[in-house]
A and B are shown apart, each in its own frame.
Chain A
Amino acid sequence: MTGPGVGGLVRVEARRFRYRSAVRWLAALAVLAALVVVTTVFLSARPPSERALAEAEQQYAFAQDDWAENGEQYVADCRDGEAQERETDPGADWGCDDMEPRPEHYLPVQPTLADSGASWVSGATSFLLLLAFAAGVTFVTAEIGSGALGTWLTFVPRRGRVYASKVTVAAAGVLVPTAVALALTVGGAWVAATANDAVGALTPAWWGDLGWQALRALAAAAVLGAAGAALGFLARSAAGALGIGIGWLLLVDSVLAGVAPALTPWTLRASLTAWLDDGYHYFATVPCRPLDGVAQAGSCSVERTVSMLHGGVLLAAVAAVLVALGALAFRRRDVD
């Protein structure tokens, strides 16, 4: 008898994953997060009230009066500033010819599903990914902490198979609750937008982009579930694994990006955002370019982008390293 294969163990681990009350709590939190986003969408997509419209018209009237009195001066100041900047940046355009107040500048903006749907889904996704990571961590650390892993190994001593089955289930197990929460977010946002007459034009391309965004979110959830499980094997405690994961995102990434902005593409947070939102924009400080062949002193700020592909590859590589390290540690470590 050589024992069950990875497939058999995956089925057993999937049962255990479903039975876990912590997983159910995390799934409930995912649904709650979706409901919070939907509620926010409903509130923000409401048509402006009569009072808001009246205030906006009043502000517009003030601005018109001000423009009549000082408009020429504003335009002159604008042209001076623009000319000054053009000494270092010939393409500078401050829009001095389009400064007159217009009503739409003052009326409250009513977001539509077509314009803001992607950002609404993105808002829910961040929290869902945190839950996926926590589910992966606790799936492993609960077993280690209770000592049940030792009992399990006296029944299934093939550590490679045991590890593979647990990491696989941690990755696959988070897909269903994440998908349900995303579907709830999109569906709820559509209902909220429809109720407020703020749907906009939902073209097939829009739906395609949204579906692709949701798929990327699901892939990220699976990767974070697996990474959480691997980190659980490495840290052997939920507090340790969650502390390392969240601490890295909040502290190490922030410090890296703050001290050396050029390293931003190599931070997890930027990579994750780039993967989820189809790119991540940041500003880097670089030496100013020569102007008319004359070297310029000082430094200039330029906008750069971390591509979705770059972010996805970096995340996959980090997850692969974590999973490999976890496997190595589990194979070699003594089990209590």
Chain B
Amino acid sequence: MTELPPAGTTAVSTRGLRKTYRHRGRRVVAVGGLDLDVPLGGVHGFLGPNGAGKTTTIRMLLGLIRPDSGVVRVLDRPVPAALPEVVSRVGAIVESPKFFPAFSGRRNLELLAAAIGAPGAQVDRVLADVGLADRGSSAFRTYSLGMKQRLAIASTLLKDPELVIFDEPTNGLDPAGIHEVRQTMRDLAAAGKTVLVSSHILAEVQQVADTVSIVTQGRLVAGGRVADLLAAAGAGEARVGVERPDEAAAVLAGRGWAVRPDGAGGLLVAGAEPADVTRALADRGLYLHELAPGRADLEQVFLALTGTGEDGTAAAHQGRPAPHGRRVRA
């Protein structure tokens, strides 16, 4: 287990965080020794396939479930021991928003505000901030999913938190709702807050996250700045458009480079500089009509690291390292 980073550098840090459940007589590992660092400020994506342990981890950060072992530090304070000291600085929406269904949105917020000693006027302000001023007196159960999500965001704003945690915040939202949530996250980050967002929707995270942690089977498989991850993943492969691709593939493979079809008549060549590819093919009378550096997106990085491929196999699920796995640290 590595040491915790120095105080004042991360909003959240965990070391060796572990949680198991008993399921049908067997012990199932939900989180298996997670080392996680969420830097202060910006949006941090917490990525992983369903069942990777993201929500369990977030629940442990919030003291809702008790870890079997490991260390958790939130805003430089140990959790759960010192959670009461930091909870006023942490806003969280875990899974779907959960409030009293029969109470109005305003009444739900009034109770929460009273519990933390926030002034009553704050309720109207946060309702207005999320665009629910007109529906504040409607029962929570009558809200659409998007409105419920906005009410949950409003509840986090009652505290004016330094760290805001969103767990799968766009599940079930329409495109407009997704855009709103994404904008909210960016606004919060721009206001100097740290946003931790868990998701399995990679495109969503890629658009808002500054840094990410990728987990599978309850363990960290990669982490760092999004730009670094994408650059590292993209540098290894070039897309080649060439006549007689089968012949070209044989030539390139003969040079020791990994070659595979790109599915659109071209080739993807890994481990080669573009100039070397050009020279090798020209020497054999094969001329390029396209040569482009690989443009990995977060989804490709994610699939490679978590070992979940098109054929549904999951190397990581079998306990082996993912074939193209790499670890990048910011």
Give A contacts to B, CB under 8 Å.
1-4, 8-9, 11-12, 15-16, 19-21, 142-143, 146-148, 150-158, 332, 334-336
Find out whether the CB atom of B98 lies under 8 angstroms from the CB atom of A1: no
**Chain A interface SS verdict (over half):** helix
Question: Once the chains are docked, how many angstroms separate the CA of A156 from the CA of B94?
Answer: 15
Known contacts A15-B111, A154-B92; A146 and B99 CB within 8 A of each other: yes
- CB of B172 within 8 Å of the partner chain: no
Find out whether the CB atom of A156 lies under 8 angstroms from the CB atom of B65: no
CB contacts (< 8 Å) of B107 on chain A: these are 19
Find out whether the CB atom of B85 lies under 8 angstroms from the CB atom of A2: yes
Q: How far is the CB of B288 from chain A (nearest CB, A)?
A: 57
- CB of B112 within 8 Å of the partner chain: yes
Question: Once the chains are docked, how many angstroms separate the CA of A142 from the CA of B103?
Answer: 12
Known contacts A8-B117, A15-B114, A152-B115; A3 and B62 CB within 8 A of each other: no
- CB of B171 within 8 Å of the partner chain: no
User: Which residues of B4-56 have CB atoms within 8 Å of chain A's CB atoms?
Assistant: none
Find out whether the CB atom of A154 lies under 8 angstroms from the CB atom of B115: no
Can you pick out 30 interface pairs between chain A and chain B where the beta carbons lie within 8 Å of each other?
A: A1-B85, A2-B84, A3-B84, A3-B87, A3-B88, A8-B114, A11-B114, A16-B100, A16-B111, A21-B102, A142-B100, A146-B101, A147-B96, A147-B98, A148-B99, A148-B100, A150-B64, A150-B94, A151-B94, A151-B99, A152-B112, A152-B115, A153-B63, A154-B91, A155-B116, A156-B116, A157-B63, A157-B80, A157-B84, A334-B66
CB contacts (< 8 Å) of A146 on chain B: these are 98-101
Among A12, A21, A151, A332, the residue within 8 A (CB) of B114 is A12
Closest to B88 in A: A1
Find out whether the CB atom of B59 lies under 8 angstroms from the CB atom of A334: yes
Closest to A3 in B: B84
Q: How far is the CB of B149 from chain A (nearest CB, A)?
A: 13
- CB of B306 within 8 Å of the partner chain: no
Question: Once the chains are docked, how many angstroms separate the CA of A201 from the CA of B15?
Answer: 78
Question: Once the chains are docked, how many angstroms separate the CA of A143 from the CA of B100?
Answer: 7
- CB of B155 within 8 Å of the partner chain: yes
CB contacts (< 8 Å) of A15 on chain B: these are 111, 114
Question: Once the chains are docked, how many angstroms separate the CA of A180 from the CA of B47?
Answer: 56
Question: Once the chains are docked, how many angstroms separate the CA of A278 from the CA of B73?
Answer: 57
Question: Once the chains are docked, how many angstroms separate the CA of A153 from the CA of B83?
Answer: 10
Find out whether the CB atom of B64 lies under 8 angstroms from the CB atom of A155: no
CB contacts (< 8 Å) of B91 on chain A: these are 154
Q: How far is the CB of B132 from chain A (nearest CB, A)?
A: 16
Find out whether the CB atom of A3 lies under 8 angstroms from the CB atom of B116: yes
Q: How far is the CB of B80 from chain A (nearest CB, A)?
A: 7
Residue-wise, chain B 58-74 has the 8 Å CB interface mask toward A (1 for contact) of: 01001111100000000
Find out whether the CB atom of B66 lies under 8 angstroms from the CB atom of A332: yes
Which residue of B83, B115, B155 has the most chain A CB atoms within 10 A of its CB atom? B115
A-B pairs, 6 with minimum CB distance: A147-B98, A334-B65, A157-B83, A12-B114, A335-B64, A154-B92
Q: How far is the CB of A150 from chain B (nearest CB, A)?
A: 6
Q: How far is the CB of A80 from chain B (nearest CB, A)?
A: 71
Among B63, B80, B98, the residue within 8 A (CB) of A151 is B98
Question: Once the chains are docked, how many angstroms separate the CA of A157 from the CA of B72?
Answer: 16
User: Which residues of B102-131 have CB atoms within 8 Å of chain A's CB atoms?
Assistant: 102-103, 107-108, 111-112, 114-117
